[in-house]
Chains A and B, each alone.
Chain A
Protein backbone atom coordinates (compact mmCIF):
# COMPACT_ATOMS: atom_id res chain seq x y z
CA UNK A 1 0.00 0.00 0.00
CA UNK A 2 1.29 3.43 -0.93
CA UNK A 3 1.41 6.01 1.85
CA UNK A 4 1.06 9.53 0.54
CA UNK A 5 2.09 12.21 3.03
CA UNK A 6 1.02 15.78 2.31
CA UNK A 7 1.08 19.24 3.79
CA UNK A 8 -1.35 21.97 2.90
CA UNK A 9 -1.52 25.60 4.02
CA UNK A 10 -4.73 27.59 4.44
CA UNK A 11 -4.80 31.37 4.80
CA UNK A 12 -6.67 31.48 8.07
CA UNK A 13 -8.87 29.51 10.40
CA UNK A 14 -11.55 31.21 12.52
CA UNK A 15 -11.84 29.65 15.99
CA UNK A 16 -14.72 29.07 18.39
CA UNK A 17 -12.98 31.36 20.89
CA UNK A 18 -13.33 34.28 18.46
CA UNK A 19 -9.65 34.48 17.52
CA UNK A 20 -8.06 33.38 14.28
CA UNK A 21 -4.98 31.39 13.35
CA UNK A 22 -3.33 32.63 10.16
CA UNK A 23 -1.87 30.91 8.30
CA UNK A 24 -2.59 27.35 9.30
CA UNK A 25 -0.77 24.22 8.11
CA UNK A 26 -2.34 20.80 7.97
CA UNK A 27 -0.46 17.50 7.68
CA UNK A 28 -2.35 14.55 6.24
CA UNK A 29 -1.84 11.16 4.69
CA UNK A 30 -3.97 9.24 2.22
CA UNK A 31 -4.26 5.56 1.39
CA UNK A 32 -6.06 3.95 -1.53
CA UNK A 33 -7.59 5.85 -4.44
CA UNK A 34 -10.44 8.31 -4.72
CA UNK A 35 -12.97 6.90 -7.20
CA UNK A 36 -14.17 9.03 -10.15
CA UNK A 37 -17.50 9.73 -8.40
CA UNK A 38 -15.52 10.87 -5.31
CA UNK A 39 -17.89 8.81 -3.21
CA UNK A 40 -15.49 6.44 -1.44
CA UNK A 41 -13.60 8.84 0.84
CA UNK A 42 -13.31 8.05 4.54
CA UNK A 43 -11.83 10.47 7.05
CA UNK A 44 -10.12 8.67 9.91
CA UNK A 45 -9.65 10.76 13.05
CA UNK A 46 -6.90 10.15 15.54
CA UNK A 47 -7.08 10.02 19.31
CA UNK A 48 -5.33 12.40 21.69
CA UNK A 49 -1.68 11.55 20.97
CA UNK A 50 -1.98 10.18 17.43
CA UNK A 51 -0.93 11.79 14.17
CA UNK A 52 -1.63 11.74 10.44
CA UNK A 53 0.32 8.51 10.02
CA UNK A 54 -2.56 6.07 10.48
CA UNK A 55 -1.51 3.19 8.22
CA UNK A 56 1.29 1.65 6.22
CA UNK A 57 4.99 2.18 6.83
CA UNK A 58 6.07 5.79 7.16
CA UNK A 59 8.72 6.61 4.55
CA UNK A 60 10.11 9.06 7.08
CA UNK A 61 10.32 6.98 10.26
CA UNK A 62 9.90 3.42 8.97
CA UNK A 63 7.16 2.84 11.55
CA UNK A 64 3.67 1.42 11.00
CA UNK A 65 0.68 3.74 11.47
CA UNK A 66 -1.35 3.86 14.68
CA UNK A 67 -4.31 2.03 13.05
CA UNK A 68 -2.30 -0.09 10.59
CA UNK A 69 -4.24 -3.17 11.75
CA UNK A 70 -7.51 -1.52 10.66
CA UNK A 71 -6.54 0.33 7.45
CA UNK A 72 -5.10 -1.37 4.38
CA UNK A 73 -5.87 -3.78 1.55
CA UNK A 74 -8.52 -6.26 2.76
CA UNK A 75 -8.64 -4.74 6.27
CA UNK A 76 -11.67 -3.20 8.07
CA UNK A 77 -11.09 0.08 6.21
CA UNK A 78 -10.28 -1.65 2.93
CA UNK A 79 -7.98 0.56 0.85
CA UNK A 80 -8.72 -1.55 -2.24
CA UNK A 81 -12.22 -0.14 -2.01
CA UNK A 82 -12.00 3.14 -0.14
CA UNK A 83 -9.88 6.27 -0.16
CA UNK A 84 -8.78 6.85 3.42
CA UNK A 85 -7.60 10.24 4.69
CA UNK A 86 -6.06 10.99 8.08
CA UNK A 87 -5.01 14.44 9.29
CA UNK A 88 -2.98 15.56 12.26
CA UNK A 89 -5.27 17.60 14.52
CA UNK A 90 -5.12 21.33 15.04
CA UNK A 91 -2.97 22.03 18.10
CA UNK A 92 -0.87 18.95 17.40
CA UNK A 93 2.86 18.73 16.92
CA UNK A 94 3.20 16.41 13.93
CA UNK A 95 2.94 18.76 11.00
CA UNK A 96 -0.31 20.63 11.73
CA UNK A 97 -0.16 24.06 13.30
CA UNK A 98 0.04 23.95 17.08
CA UNK A 99 1.73 25.69 20.00
CA UNK A 100 5.19 24.55 18.83
CA UNK A 101 4.66 26.14 15.37
CA UNK A 102 6.17 29.49 14.51
CA UNK A 103 3.94 32.45 15.33
CA UNK A 104 4.22 34.71 12.25
CA UNK A 105 3.77 37.80 14.46
CA UNK A 106 6.87 37.09 16.51
CA UNK A 107 8.91 34.68 14.40
CA UNK A 108 9.13 32.43 17.48
CA UNK A 109 7.09 29.37 18.50
CA UNK A 110 3.62 30.28 19.79
CA UNK A 111 3.92 28.65 23.19
CA UNK A 112 1.08 29.95 25.34
CA UNK A 113 0.32 32.67 22.74
CA UNK A 114 -1.37 29.89 20.79
CA UNK A 115 -5.14 30.42 21.08
CA UNK A 116 -7.22 27.88 22.97
CA UNK A 117 -8.81 25.48 20.50
CA UNK A 118 -11.83 23.18 20.47
CA UNK A 119 -12.84 19.92 18.82
CA UNK A 120 -15.10 22.10 16.64
CA UNK A 121 -12.01 24.03 15.45
CA UNK A 122 -10.21 20.78 14.64
CA UNK A 123 -13.15 19.64 12.53
CA UNK A 124 -13.49 23.04 10.82
CA UNK A 125 -9.89 22.74 9.64
CA UNK A 126 -10.48 19.17 8.41
CA UNK A 127 -13.49 20.39 6.47
CA UNK A 128 -11.30 22.96 4.70
CA UNK A 129 -9.14 20.06 3.52
CA UNK A 130 -12.12 17.99 2.38
CA UNK A 131 -13.41 21.02 0.46
CA UNK A 132 -10.02 21.54 -1.17
CA UNK A 133 -9.90 17.88 -2.22
CA UNK A 134 -13.23 18.37 -4.01
CA UNK A 135 -14.99 15.76 -1.90
CA UNK A 136 -18.67 16.59 -1.57
CA UNK A 137 -19.62 13.86 0.89
CA UNK A 138 -17.47 11.63 3.05
CA UNK A 139 -18.59 8.03 3.04
CA UNK A 140 -17.60 7.87 6.68
CA UNK A 141 -15.90 9.72 9.50
CA UNK A 142 -14.42 7.40 12.09
CA UNK A 143 -12.16 7.36 15.08
CA UNK A 144 -11.68 6.17 18.63
CA UNK A 145 -11.68 8.26 21.82
CA UNK A 146 -11.04 11.90 20.79
CA UNK A 147 -11.35 10.66 17.20
CA UNK A 148 -14.92 9.64 18.02
CA UNK A 149 -15.64 13.13 19.36
CA UNK A 150 -14.49 14.60 16.04
CA UNK A 151 -16.68 12.09 14.17
CA UNK A 152 -19.70 13.22 16.22
CA UNK A 153 -18.80 16.87 15.66
CA UNK A 154 -18.66 16.24 11.90
CA UNK A 155 -22.07 14.57 11.98
CA UNK A 156 -23.78 17.53 13.66
CA UNK A 157 -21.75 20.44 12.22
CA UNK A 158 -21.69 19.26 8.59
CA UNK A 159 -24.61 16.84 8.40
CA UNK A 160 -24.92 17.01 4.62
CA UNK A 161 -21.24 16.17 4.20
CA UNK A 162 -21.10 12.79 5.96
CA UNK A 163 -22.93 9.63 4.95
CA UNK A 164 -21.94 7.72 8.08
CA UNK A 165 -20.09 8.11 11.36
CA UNK A 166 -18.29 5.49 13.46
CA UNK A 167 -17.47 6.83 16.94
CA UNK A 168 -15.58 4.15 18.89
CA UNK A 169 -14.84 4.10 22.64
CA UNK A 170 -15.93 7.71 22.80
CA UNK A 171 -18.34 10.12 24.43
CA UNK A 172 -20.51 13.14 23.74
CA UNK A 173 -18.80 14.89 26.64
CA UNK A 174 -16.12 14.25 29.22
CA UNK A 175 -17.17 13.16 32.68
CA UNK A 176 -15.64 14.65 35.83
CA UNK A 177 -13.34 11.62 36.01
CA UNK A 178 -12.07 12.11 32.47
CA UNK A 179 -11.46 15.82 33.08
CA UNK A 180 -9.73 14.92 36.35
CA UNK A 181 -7.20 12.61 34.68
CA UNK A 182 -6.47 15.24 32.05
CA UNK A 183 -5.95 17.83 34.77
CA UNK A 184 -3.44 15.59 36.55
CA UNK A 185 -1.52 15.35 33.28
CA UNK A 186 -1.58 19.10 32.78
CA UNK A 187 -0.52 19.77 36.35
CA UNK A 188 2.41 17.35 36.01
CA UNK A 189 3.63 19.33 32.98
CA UNK A 190 3.08 22.75 34.51
CA UNK A 191 4.75 21.68 37.77
CA UNK A 192 7.96 20.91 35.88
CA UNK A 193 10.23 23.98 36.19
CA UNK A 194 11.44 23.35 32.65
CA UNK A 195 7.94 24.10 31.40
CA UNK A 196 8.64 27.80 32.03
CA UNK A 197 5.11 29.04 31.28
CA UNK A 198 5.24 27.24 27.97
CA UNK A 199 8.37 29.04 26.74
CA UNK A 200 10.80 26.13 26.58
CA UNK A 201 11.42 25.91 22.85
CA UNK A 202 15.14 25.93 22.04
CA UNK A 203 15.82 24.96 25.65
CA UNK A 204 15.29 21.88 27.79
CA UNK A 205 11.66 20.77 27.46
CA UNK A 206 9.55 19.76 30.51
CA UNK A 207 10.44 16.14 29.92
CA UNK A 208 9.83 14.92 33.47
CA UNK A 209 6.40 16.49 33.70
CA UNK A 210 5.36 15.26 30.26
CA UNK A 211 6.60 11.74 31.08
CA UNK A 212 4.58 11.64 34.31
CA UNK A 213 1.51 12.89 32.41
CA UNK A 214 1.95 10.09 29.91
CA UNK A 215 2.41 7.50 32.66
CA UNK A 216 -0.95 8.45 34.14
CA UNK A 217 -2.46 8.34 30.68
CA UNK A 218 -1.19 4.84 30.04
CA UNK A 219 -2.72 3.56 33.26
CA UNK A 220 -6.11 4.88 32.16
CA UNK A 221 -5.77 3.24 28.74
CA UNK A 222 -5.28 -0.24 30.21
CA UNK A 223 -7.51 -2.33 32.46
CA UNK A 224 -6.82 -4.03 35.78
CA UNK A 225 -6.97 -7.36 33.92
CA UNK A 226 -4.66 -6.37 31.10
CA UNK A 227 -2.09 -4.95 33.56
CA UNK A 228 -2.25 -8.10 35.66
CA UNK A 229 -1.76 -10.19 32.54
CA UNK A 230 1.02 -8.04 31.13
CA UNK A 231 3.00 -7.29 34.32
CA UNK A 232 1.49 -8.87 37.39
CA UNK A 233 3.89 -8.24 40.27
CA UNK A 234 6.88 -9.47 38.26
CA UNK A 235 10.17 -7.87 39.10
CA UNK A 236 12.32 -6.26 36.44
CA UNK A 237 15.60 -8.14 35.85
CA UNK A 238 16.00 -9.00 39.51
CA UNK A 239 15.08 -11.70 42.01
CA UNK A 240 14.58 -9.57 45.13
CA UNK A 241 13.50 -6.02 45.96
CA UNK A 242 16.13 -3.32 45.66
CA UNK A 243 14.98 -1.72 48.93
CA UNK A 244 15.24 1.61 47.17
CA UNK A 245 13.35 3.68 44.65
CA UNK A 246 14.90 2.35 41.49
CA UNK A 247 12.75 0.24 39.21
CA UNK A 248 11.66 -2.94 40.99
CA UNK A 249 8.48 -3.95 39.17
CA UNK A 250 7.96 -4.59 35.47
CA UNK A 251 5.04 -2.18 35.49
CA UNK A 252 7.27 0.63 36.77
CA UNK A 253 9.78 -0.06 34.05
CA UNK A 254 7.06 -0.08 31.40
CA UNK A 255 5.54 3.20 32.51
CA UNK A 256 8.92 4.93 32.74
CA UNK A 257 9.83 3.65 29.28
CA UNK A 258 6.52 4.82 27.81
CA UNK A 259 6.86 8.18 29.51
CA UNK A 260 10.38 8.75 28.20
CA UNK A 261 9.51 7.59 24.70
CA UNK A 262 6.58 9.99 24.58
CA UNK A 263 8.80 12.99 25.26
CA UNK A 264 10.66 12.31 22.00
CA UNK A 265 7.55 12.55 19.88
CA UNK A 266 5.15 14.87 21.65
CA UNK A 267 5.10 18.52 22.62
CA UNK A 268 4.13 19.37 26.21
CA UNK A 269 2.12 22.44 25.18
CA UNK A 270 0.20 20.36 22.63
CA UNK A 271 -0.66 18.09 25.55
CA UNK A 272 -2.16 21.06 27.41
CA UNK A 273 -4.11 22.45 24.43
CA UNK A 274 -5.48 19.18 23.12
CA UNK A 275 -6.55 17.81 26.51
CA UNK A 276 -8.32 21.12 27.17
CA UNK A 277 -10.14 20.83 23.84
CA UNK A 278 -11.31 17.35 24.85
CA UNK A 279 -12.51 18.61 28.24
CA UNK A 280 -14.39 21.50 26.63
CA UNK A 281 -16.09 19.19 24.13
CA UNK A 282 -19.78 18.89 24.97
CA UNK A 283 -22.18 18.07 22.20
CA UNK A 284 -25.13 19.19 24.33
CA UNK A 285 -23.84 22.68 25.07
CA UNK A 286 -26.22 25.29 23.77
CA UNK A 287 -28.95 22.83 22.81
CA UNK A 288 -30.30 21.74 26.17
CA UNK A 289 -30.40 18.02 25.55
CA UNK A 290 -28.32 15.49 23.70
CA UNK A 291 -31.25 14.53 21.49
CA UNK A 292 -31.68 18.20 20.56
CA UNK A 293 -27.95 18.51 19.86
CA UNK A 294 -28.08 15.53 17.53
CA UNK A 295 -31.12 16.93 15.72
CA UNK A 296 -29.22 18.00 12.59
CA UNK A 297 -27.45 14.64 12.18
CA UNK A 298 -28.46 12.70 9.07
CA UNK A 299 -25.67 10.14 9.05
CA UNK A 300 -25.93 6.45 9.64
CA UNK A 301 -24.11 5.57 12.85
CA UNK A 302 -22.08 2.61 14.06
CA UNK A 303 -21.23 3.04 17.74
CA UNK A 304 -18.80 0.65 19.44
CA UNK A 305 -17.70 0.44 23.07
CA UNK A 306 -15.54 -2.07 24.96
CA UNK A 307 -16.47 -4.00 28.07
CA UNK A 308 -13.23 -3.27 29.98
CA UNK A 309 -12.91 0.39 28.97
CA UNK A 310 -13.29 2.28 32.24
CA UNK A 311 -11.95 5.58 30.85
CA UNK A 312 -14.69 5.85 28.21
CA UNK A 313 -17.20 3.43 29.71
CA UNK A 314 -20.00 1.84 27.68
CA UNK A 315 -22.65 3.93 29.40
CA UNK A 316 -21.32 6.98 27.55
CA UNK A 317 -21.74 5.26 24.19
CA UNK A 318 -25.17 4.02 25.23
CA UNK A 319 -26.22 7.56 26.13
CA UNK A 320 -25.18 8.66 22.66
CA UNK A 321 -27.06 5.77 21.06
CA UNK A 322 -30.23 6.40 23.06
CA UNK A 323 -30.26 10.03 21.97
CA UNK A 324 -29.73 8.98 18.35
CA UNK A 325 -32.63 6.55 18.62
CA UNK A 326 -34.80 9.27 20.11
CA UNK A 327 -34.09 11.20 16.87
CA UNK A 328 -34.96 8.04 14.96
CA UNK A 329 -31.45 8.01 13.47
CA UNK A 330 -30.13 4.87 11.80
CA UNK A 331 -27.81 3.59 14.50
CA UNK A 332 -26.11 0.27 15.20
CA UNK A 333 -24.46 -0.32 18.55
CA UNK A 334 -22.54 -3.09 20.22
CA UNK A 335 -20.33 -3.44 23.27
CA UNK A 336 -17.41 -5.68 22.34
CA UNK A 337 -15.90 -7.98 24.94
CA UNK A 338 -12.23 -7.17 25.40
CA UNK A 339 -9.75 -7.13 28.27
CA UNK A 340 -7.57 -4.36 26.92
CA UNK A 341 -9.40 -1.39 28.42
CA UNK A 342 -9.55 1.84 26.43
CA UNK A 343 -6.67 0.61 24.24
CA UNK A 344 -8.97 -2.11 22.85
CA UNK A 345 -9.91 -0.06 19.79
CA UNK A 346 -6.22 0.06 18.84
CA UNK A 347 -5.08 -3.44 19.75
CA UNK A 348 -8.05 -5.85 19.85
CA UNK A 349 -9.38 -5.24 16.35
CA UNK A 350 -10.55 -8.61 14.95
CA UNK A 351 -14.26 -8.13 15.78
CA UNK A 352 -14.10 -4.39 15.27
CA UNK A 353 -12.77 -5.00 11.76
CA UNK A 354 -15.74 -7.22 10.86
CA UNK A 355 -18.20 -4.63 12.16
CA UNK A 356 -16.56 -1.79 10.26
CA UNK A 357 -16.22 -3.84 7.09
CA UNK A 358 -19.92 -4.86 7.04
CA UNK A 359 -21.17 -1.44 8.07
CA UNK A 360 -19.11 0.36 5.42
CA UNK A 361 -20.07 -2.12 2.70
CA UNK A 362 -23.80 -1.69 3.31
CA UNK A 363 -23.40 2.09 3.67
CA UNK A 364 -21.48 2.26 0.40
CA UNK A 365 -24.14 0.13 -1.37
CA UNK A 366 -26.95 2.32 -0.08
CA UNK A 367 -25.17 5.55 -0.96
CA UNK A 368 -24.26 4.61 -4.51
Chain B
Protein backbone atom coordinates (compact mmCIF):
# COMPACT_ATOMS: atom_id res chain seq x y z
CA UNK B 1 0.00 0.00 0.00
CA UNK B 2 1.12 3.47 -0.74
CA UNK B 3 0.88 6.23 1.83
CA UNK B 4 -2.74 7.22 2.33
CA UNK B 5 -3.88 9.88 -0.09
CA UNK B 6 -4.66 13.09 1.82
CA UNK B 7 -8.33 13.92 1.99
CA UNK B 8 -9.14 16.37 -0.78
CA UNK B 9 -10.72 18.77 1.63
CA UNK B 10 -7.55 19.20 3.66
CA UNK B 11 -5.48 19.43 0.52
CA UNK B 12 -7.63 22.11 -1.10
CA UNK B 13 -7.54 24.06 2.10
CA UNK B 14 -3.76 23.85 2.22
CA UNK B 15 -3.50 25.04 -1.36
CA UNK B 16 -6.16 27.67 -1.34
CA UNK B 17 -6.41 28.67 2.30
CA UNK B 18 -10.12 29.30 2.03
CA UNK B 19 -12.64 26.97 3.57
CA UNK B 20 -15.36 27.79 1.02
CA UNK B 21 -12.90 26.79 -1.71
CA UNK B 22 -12.34 23.50 0.11
CA UNK B 23 -16.06 22.77 -0.01
CA UNK B 24 -16.30 23.76 -3.66
CA UNK B 25 -13.33 21.52 -4.40
CA UNK B 26 -15.30 18.65 -2.85
CA UNK B 27 -18.51 19.36 -4.72
CA UNK B 28 -17.23 19.75 -8.27
CA UNK B 29 -17.25 16.50 -10.25
CA UNK B 30 -14.21 15.59 -12.34
CA UNK B 31 -14.16 16.56 -16.03
CA UNK B 32 -17.05 18.97 -15.66
CA UNK B 33 -17.43 22.42 -17.20
CA UNK B 34 -17.00 25.14 -14.61
CA UNK B 35 -17.55 28.90 -14.74
CA UNK B 36 -16.27 30.88 -11.76
CA UNK B 37 -17.76 34.36 -11.40
CA UNK B 38 -15.54 36.88 -9.65
CA UNK B 39 -12.72 34.38 -9.94
CA UNK B 40 -9.98 36.73 -8.76
CA UNK B 41 -6.58 35.49 -9.88
CA UNK B 42 -8.00 32.11 -10.85
CA UNK B 43 -6.56 30.12 -7.91
CA UNK B 44 -9.66 27.92 -7.55
CA UNK B 45 -9.99 27.37 -11.30
CA UNK B 46 -6.32 26.49 -11.61
CA UNK B 47 -6.70 23.97 -8.80
CA UNK B 48 -9.87 22.49 -10.32
CA UNK B 49 -8.22 22.23 -13.75
CA UNK B 50 -5.13 20.53 -12.34
CA UNK B 51 -6.87 18.21 -9.86
CA UNK B 52 -10.30 17.57 -11.31
CA UNK B 53 -9.48 18.01 -14.99
CA UNK B 54 -12.32 20.47 -15.41
CA UNK B 55 -12.85 22.82 -18.34
CA UNK B 56 -12.28 26.01 -16.35
CA UNK B 57 -13.49 29.49 -17.28
CA UNK B 58 -13.73 32.65 -15.21
CA UNK B 59 -15.13 36.17 -15.15
CA UNK B 60 -13.38 38.90 -13.17
CA UNK B 61 -13.74 42.66 -13.25
CA UNK B 62 -10.26 43.65 -12.08
CA UNK B 63 -7.85 43.88 -15.02
CA UNK B 64 -4.76 43.15 -12.93
CA UNK B 65 -6.36 40.01 -11.48
CA UNK B 66 -7.46 38.90 -14.93
CA UNK B 67 -3.87 39.33 -16.11
CA UNK B 68 -2.52 37.12 -13.35
CA UNK B 69 -5.23 34.52 -13.97
CA UNK B 70 -4.47 34.34 -17.69
CA UNK B 71 -0.74 34.23 -16.95
CA UNK B 72 -1.39 31.13 -14.87
CA UNK B 73 -3.16 29.56 -17.81
CA UNK B 74 -6.80 30.04 -16.81
CA UNK B 75 -9.24 31.38 -19.41
CA UNK B 76 -10.66 34.46 -17.74
CA UNK B 77 -12.80 37.16 -19.28
CA UNK B 78 -12.58 40.71 -17.95
CA UNK B 79 -16.14 41.77 -17.31
CA UNK B 80 -18.94 42.56 -14.92
CA UNK B 81 -20.99 39.74 -13.36
CA UNK B 82 -24.16 41.81 -13.34
CA UNK B 83 -24.09 42.06 -17.13
CA UNK B 84 -21.54 39.46 -18.12
CA UNK B 85 -23.61 36.29 -18.34
CA UNK B 86 -26.00 37.36 -21.05
CA UNK B 87 -23.72 36.17 -23.86
CA UNK B 88 -23.44 32.57 -22.70
CA UNK B 89 -25.80 30.00 -24.23
CA UNK B 90 -28.21 28.11 -21.96
CA UNK B 91 -26.78 25.25 -19.90
CA UNK B 92 -23.24 25.82 -21.14
CA UNK B 93 -21.71 24.75 -17.83
CA UNK B 94 -22.11 21.99 -15.26
CA UNK B 95 -21.33 24.36 -12.40
CA UNK B 96 -21.42 28.12 -12.11
CA UNK B 97 -19.60 29.28 -8.99
CA UNK B 98 -20.11 32.53 -7.15
CA UNK B 99 -17.85 32.64 -4.13
CA UNK B 100 -18.04 35.53 -1.65
CA UNK B 101 -19.37 37.86 -4.32
CA UNK B 102 -23.18 37.59 -4.24
CA UNK B 103 -23.38 40.37 -1.64
CA UNK B 104 -21.36 42.64 -3.97
CA UNK B 105 -23.62 42.34 -7.02
CA UNK B 106 -26.19 44.98 -7.93
CA UNK B 107 -28.96 42.55 -8.78
CA UNK B 108 -28.26 39.33 -6.87
CA UNK B 109 -31.52 37.60 -7.74
CA UNK B 110 -31.06 38.33 -11.43
CA UNK B 111 -27.45 37.11 -11.22
CA UNK B 112 -28.59 33.84 -9.61
CA UNK B 113 -31.31 33.35 -12.23
CA UNK B 114 -28.75 33.91 -14.98
CA UNK B 115 -26.36 31.49 -13.31
CA UNK B 116 -29.07 28.84 -13.34
CA UNK B 117 -29.74 29.58 -16.99
CA UNK B 118 -26.13 29.11 -18.12
CA UNK B 119 -25.31 26.34 -15.64
CA UNK B 120 -26.96 23.08 -14.61
CA UNK B 121 -26.00 23.77 -11.01
CA UNK B 122 -24.92 26.78 -9.05
CA UNK B 123 -22.48 26.84 -6.16
CA UNK B 124 -22.86 29.98 -4.12
CA UNK B 125 -20.82 30.88 -1.05
CA UNK B 126 -21.50 34.01 0.96
CA UNK B 127 -20.73 35.52 4.36
CA UNK B 128 -23.70 35.07 6.70
CA UNK B 129 -25.04 38.39 7.91
CA UNK B 130 -27.08 36.51 10.53
CA UNK B 131 -23.99 35.39 12.45
CA UNK B 132 -24.28 36.14 16.16
CA UNK B 133 -21.25 38.44 16.12
CA UNK B 134 -22.90 40.64 13.49
CA UNK B 135 -26.16 40.74 15.46
CA UNK B 136 -24.33 41.48 18.67
CA UNK B 137 -22.11 44.14 17.14
CA UNK B 138 -25.15 45.97 15.81
CA UNK B 139 -27.15 45.54 18.99
CA UNK B 140 -24.42 46.81 21.27
CA UNK B 141 -22.82 49.54 19.17
CA UNK B 142 -25.91 50.70 17.30
CA UNK B 143 -23.72 51.16 14.24
CA UNK B 144 -23.27 49.33 10.96
CA UNK B 145 -21.56 46.08 11.90
CA UNK B 146 -17.82 45.83 11.48
CA UNK B 147 -16.02 42.62 12.38
CA UNK B 148 -13.82 39.91 10.88
CA UNK B 149 -16.57 38.85 8.44
CA UNK B 150 -17.47 42.38 7.40
CA UNK B 151 -14.28 44.37 7.94
CA UNK B 152 -15.25 47.49 5.96
CA UNK B 153 -16.53 50.88 7.03
CA UNK B 154 -20.05 51.31 5.71
CA UNK B 155 -18.92 53.99 3.26
CA UNK B 156 -16.25 51.95 1.49
CA UNK B 157 -17.69 48.47 1.74
CA UNK B 158 -18.04 46.55 -1.55
CA UNK B 159 -20.92 44.67 0.10
CA UNK B 160 -24.20 46.19 -1.00
CA UNK B 161 -26.70 43.37 -0.47
CA UNK B 162 -26.46 41.72 2.95
CA UNK B 163 -28.11 38.36 3.41
CA UNK B 164 -28.39 35.57 5.93
CA UNK B 165 -28.68 31.82 5.62
CA UNK B 166 -32.45 32.13 6.15
CA UNK B 167 -32.73 34.83 3.50
CA UNK B 168 -31.09 32.62 0.91
CA UNK B 169 -33.20 29.58 1.76
CA UNK B 170 -36.34 31.66 1.51
CA UNK B 171 -35.34 33.09 -1.86
CA UNK B 172 -34.59 29.59 -3.15
CA UNK B 173 -38.06 28.45 -2.04
CA UNK B 174 -39.73 31.46 -3.67
CA UNK B 175 -37.85 30.90 -6.93
CA UNK B 176 -38.47 27.12 -6.74
CA UNK B 177 -34.77 26.34 -6.88
CA UNK B 178 -33.66 23.01 -5.44
CA UNK B 179 -31.06 23.27 -2.72
CA UNK B 180 -29.18 20.02 -3.27
CA UNK B 181 -26.53 20.46 -0.60
CA UNK B 182 -25.71 23.00 2.05
CA UNK B 183 -22.55 23.52 4.09
CA UNK B 184 -22.01 25.86 6.98
CA UNK B 185 -18.60 26.97 8.11
CA UNK B 186 -17.30 28.62 11.23
CA UNK B 187 -13.69 29.41 10.52
CA UNK B 188 -12.32 26.20 8.98
CA UNK B 189 -14.86 23.96 10.77
CA UNK B 190 -18.07 22.59 9.33
CA UNK B 191 -21.03 23.05 11.62
CA UNK B 192 -24.61 21.81 11.46
CA UNK B 193 -26.51 23.16 14.46
CA UNK B 194 -28.03 26.67 14.36
CA UNK B 195 -26.36 27.69 11.11
CA UNK B 196 -28.07 31.05 10.81
CA UNK B 197 -26.61 32.05 14.15
CA UNK B 198 -23.29 30.22 14.03
CA UNK B 199 -22.15 30.02 10.40
CA UNK B 200 -19.69 32.62 9.19
CA UNK B 201 -19.88 31.32 5.65
CA UNK B 202 -22.64 29.40 3.91
CA UNK B 203 -22.13 27.30 0.77
CA UNK B 204 -25.13 26.11 -1.22
CA UNK B 205 -25.30 23.77 -4.18
CA UNK B 206 -28.41 24.77 -6.06
CA UNK B 207 -30.13 23.13 -8.97
CA UNK B 208 -33.10 24.06 -11.09
CA UNK B 209 -36.56 23.27 -9.94
CA UNK B 210 -37.22 19.60 -10.51
CA UNK B 211 -33.63 18.69 -11.30
CA UNK B 212 -32.23 15.58 -9.70
CA UNK B 213 -30.31 15.97 -6.53
CA UNK B 214 -26.63 15.14 -6.99
CA UNK B 215 -26.80 12.20 -4.57
CA UNK B 216 -29.78 10.69 -6.41
CA UNK B 217 -27.55 10.01 -9.39
CA UNK B 218 -25.22 7.70 -7.52
CA UNK B 219 -26.23 4.32 -6.13
CA UNK B 220 -28.88 4.54 -3.41
CA UNK B 221 -27.42 4.48 0.05
CA UNK B 222 -28.34 1.62 2.40
| Contact residues of A: prevailing secondary structure | helix
Q: How far is the CB of B66 from chain A (nearest CB, A)?
A: 4
Cβ of A357 within 8 Å of any chain B Cβ, yes or no, is yes
Cβ of B149 within 8 Å of any chain A Cβ, yes or no, is no
Per the bound structure, the CA–CA distance linking A365 and B147 in Å amounts to 44
Contacts of B8 in A (CB 8 A): none
Q: A326-B88, A328-B88, A328-B92 are in contact. Are A336 and B75 (CB under 8 A)?
A: no
Q: Are A362 and B63 in contact (CB under 8 A)?
A: no
Q: How far is the CB of B96 from chain A (nearest CB, A)?
A: 13
Q: Are A362 and B88 in contact (CB under 8 A)?
A: no
**B 182-220 contacts with A by CB, 8 A:** none
Cβ of A4 within 8 Å of any chain B Cβ, yes or no, is no
Q: Are B73 and A361 in contact (CB under 8 A)?
A: yes
Contact of B70 among A323, A334, A337 (CB under 8 A): A334
Binary flags per residue of A318-357, CB closer than 8 Å to B gives 1, else 0: 0001110111101111111100000000000001001101
Q: How far is the CB of A89 from chain B (nearest CB, A)?
A: 28
Cβ of B100 within 8 Å of any chain A Cβ, yes or no, is no
Contacts of A90 in B (CB 8 A): none
Most chain B CB within 10 A, of A302, A326, A332, A351, is at: A332
Q: Are A359 and B73 in contact (CB under 8 A)?
A: yes
Contacts of A357 in B (CB 8 A): 71
Size of the B side of the interface (Cβ < 8 Å), in residues, is 20
Q: A322-B87, A330-B55 are in contact. Are A337 and B63 (CB under 8 A)?
A: yes
Q: Are B72 and A326 in contact (CB under 8 A)?
A: no
Q: How far is the CB of A299 from chain B (nearest CB, A)?
A: 12
Most chain B CB within 10 A, of A300, A323, A335, A362, is at: A362
Cβ of B131 within 8 Å of any chain A Cβ, yes or no, is no
Q: Are A331 and B89 in contact (CB under 8 A)?
A: no
Q: Are B63 and A334 in contact (CB under 8 A)?
A: yes
Binary flags per residue of A125-153, CB closer than 8 Å to B gives 1, else 0: 00000000000000000000000000000
Contact of A336 among B67, B76, B88, B89 (CB under 8 A): B67
Contacts of A74 in B (CB 8 A): none
Per the bound structure, the CA–CA distance linking A363 and B49 in Å amounts to 13
| Contact residues of B: prevailing secondary structure | mixed
Q: How far is the CB of B77 from chain A (nearest CB, A)?
A: 5
Per the bound structure, the CA–CA distance linking A359 and B69 in Å amounts to 10
Contacts of A335 in B (CB 8 A): 63, 78
Contacts of A361 in B (CB 8 A): 73
Contacts of B78 in A (CB 8 A): 333-335
Cβ of A59 within 8 Å of any chain B Cβ, yes or no, is no
- Who on chain A is nearest to B69 by CB? A332
Cβ of A23 within 8 Å of any chain B Cβ, yes or no, is no
Contact of A358 among B73, B77, B87, B89 (CB under 8 A): B73
Q: Are B88 and A354 in contact (CB under 8 A)?
A: no
Q: How far is the CB of A334 from chain B (nearest CB, A)?
A: 4
Per the bound structure, the CA–CA distance linking A89 and B220 in Å amounts to 63
Most chain A CB within 10 A, of B57, B63, B77, is at: B77
Q: How far is the CB of A356 from chain B (nearest CB, A)?
A: 9
Q: Are B73 and A355 in contact (CB under 8 A)?
A: no
Contacts of A322 in B (CB 8 A): 87
Contacts of A328 in B (CB 8 A): 88-89, 92
- Who on chain B is nearest to A304 by CB? B70
Contacts of B63 in A (CB 8 A): 334-337
Q: Are A334 and B67 in contact (CB under 8 A)?
A: yes
Return 14 A-B CB contacts under 8 Å, by A number.
A322-B87, A325-B77, A325-B88, A331-B75, A332-B69, A332-B75, A333-B78, A334-B78, A335-B63, A335-B78, A337-B63, A359-B71, A362-B73, A365-B73
8 more CB-based (< 8 A) A-B contacts, given A326-B87, A331-B75, A361-B73: A300-B75, A328-B88, A328-B89, A334-B66, A355-B70, A357-B71, A358-B70, A359-B70
Top 6 closest A-B pairs, CB basis?
A362-B73, A358-B71, A332-B75, A325-B87, A334-B66, A354-B71
